[in-house]
């Protein structure tokens, strides 16, 4: 029976299932080709071109599919059009990684049309954040290698040097770990599990659907933008009551930019993840803030809320 008003106690042993290794590494070398897709909103062409320039500065080639600038209402074309571009990049052996043009809204709409199995034939990172969380969350369920929670092309236009360096590091090899310089312990403890999550509002919109994320045996990362505390409370409460948080082993909070009193948000999160064995660490510079560090989702991670440390396992990608 699903829990109705609280999450069940997770299993906090050190053992959990590691996804099988892939036979081909998706890590990039200079000269690799980045395919660009627009699975969500239409984008500003000036910021888009400025972001592409930053990608080229990293030493990568760029492939721009035809029809990328299509528009339908607030979307970058209709669902079939946007999904078709993504699937073409999935299956193209000449594409080494996929960057998303921007967030906004629309990625959830195309999930029924995406063929993630194509990525198993041609492993490659998918990179994005915000609304792209929908694709990342489904990708980590279906693919035996990480998705990367990191900048979209338009956000690269004015990305900090730290954000750019972090993205290049995540694309080039395993991320061994991070010490959160601005870390804050919300609840003490240490936990290990699959690293999953992303934008809270997007994850909440997926709850109760056939694309509901799998948070079992996970360390859950959350971030958001322009959501007042009561809306964050409402989303977390709805998700907790649905049972989606059952099995969460630890929580890591990224930036909650323009969301009001940070202390209030931390208190709400602590209430929604009430099990005293679930450590909660805040202060990860990832999300909609000035710095957006790139994070490998889907692999194993250990969070130590007392020392402000994230340690990523190098298994899961050959």
- The residues spanned by each domain of the chain are 33-172, 177-312
**pLDDT over threshold 70, residue 285:** yes
pLDDT of residue 313: 87
**pLDDT over threshold 50, residue 11:** no
Q: pLDDT band for position 7 (50/70/90)?
A: very low
- Determine whether 223 is an active site residue: yes
Topology of domain 33-172 in CATH is Rossmann fold (3.40.50)
**Are 22 and 144 spatial neighbours (Cβ–Cβ below 8 Å)?**
yes
DSSP state of 298: S
Cα separation, 175 vs 191, in Å, equals: 18
Cα separation, 132 vs 107, in Å, equals: 6
Candidates 42, 130, 163, 294; catalytic one: 130
Q: pLDDT band for position 148 (50/70/90)?
A: very high
Own/partner contacts of 265-269, CB < 8 Å, gap of 24 or more, are 265/229, 265/232, 266/184, 266/186, 268/229, 268/232, 268/233, 268/236, 269/186, 269/222, 269/236
**Are 314 and 145 spatial neighbours (Cβ–Cβ below 8 Å)?**
no
Mean pLDDT of 162-175: 96
Cα separation, 216 vs 242, in Å, equals: 14
pLDDT, tens only, 154-163: 999 999 999 9
CA of 95: how far to CAs of 54, 104, 156, in Å?
18, 24, 20
**pLDDT over threshold 80, residue 54:** yes
Residue 179 corresponds to which tokens in the numbers above? 């010490």
pLDDT of residue 176: 84
Candidates 42, 192, 266, 288; catalytic one: 288
Out of 4-13, 51-60, 192-201, pick the least confident. Answer: 4-13
Mean pLDDT of 83-96: 97
- Crossing angle (nearest 10°) for helices 229-242 and 262-272: 10
Determine what percent of the chain is predicted with pLDDT higher than 70.
91
Candidates 42, 223, 227, 294; catalytic one: 223
pLDDT of residue 24: 58
Q: Which CATH architecture has domain 177-312?
A: 3-Layer(bba) Sandwich (3.50)
Residue 7 corresponds to which tokens in the numbers above? 């999450």
- Determine whether 271 is an active site residue: no
Q: Is 99 left (phi over 0), alpha (psi -120 to 50) or beta?
A: beta
- Determine whether 130 is an active site residue: yes
pLDDT, tens only, 213-231: 999 999 999 999 999 999 9
pLDDT of residue 18: 43
């Amino acid at each position: 029976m699903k829990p109705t008003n609280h999450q069940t106690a997770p299993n906090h042993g050190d053992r959990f299932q590691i996804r099988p290794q892939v036979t081909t590494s998706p890590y990039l070398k200079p000269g690799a080709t980045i395919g660009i897709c627009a699975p969500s909103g239409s984008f500003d062409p000036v910021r888009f071109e400025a972001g592409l320039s930053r990608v080229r500065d990293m030493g990568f080639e760029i492939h721009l599919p035809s029809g990328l600038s299509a528009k339908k209402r607030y979307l970058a074309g209709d669902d079939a059009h946007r999904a078709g571009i993504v699937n073409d990049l999935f299956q193209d052996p000449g594409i080494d990684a996929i960057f998303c043009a921007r967030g906004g809204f629309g990625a959830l709409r195309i999930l029924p049309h995406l063929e993630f199995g194509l990525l198993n034939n041609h492993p490659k990172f998918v990179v994005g954040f915000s609304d792209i969380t929908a694709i990342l969350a489904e990708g980590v369920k279906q693919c035996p290698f990480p998705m990367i929670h990191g900048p979209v092309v338009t956000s690269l236009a004015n990305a900090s040097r730290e954000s750019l360096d972090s993205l290049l590091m995540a694309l080039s090899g395993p991320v061994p770990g991070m010490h959160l310089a601005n870390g804050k312990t919300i609840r003490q403890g240490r936990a290990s599990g699959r690293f999953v999550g992303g934008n809270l509002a997007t994850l909440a919109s997926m709850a109760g659907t056939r694309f509901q994320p799998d948070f079992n045996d996970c360390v859950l990362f959350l971030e958001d933008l322009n959501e007042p505390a009561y809306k964050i409370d409402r989303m977390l409460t709805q998700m907790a009551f649905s049972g989606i948080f059952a099995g969460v082993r630890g929580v890591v909070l990224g930036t909650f930019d323009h969301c009001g009193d940070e202390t209030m948000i931390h208190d709400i999160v602590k209430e929604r993840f009430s099990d005293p064995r679930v450590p909660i660490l805040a202060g990860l510079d990832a999300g909609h803030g000035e710095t957006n560090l790139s994070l490998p989702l889907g692999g194993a991670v250990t969070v130590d809320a007392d020392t402000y440390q994230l340690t990523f396992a190098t298994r899961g990608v050959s």
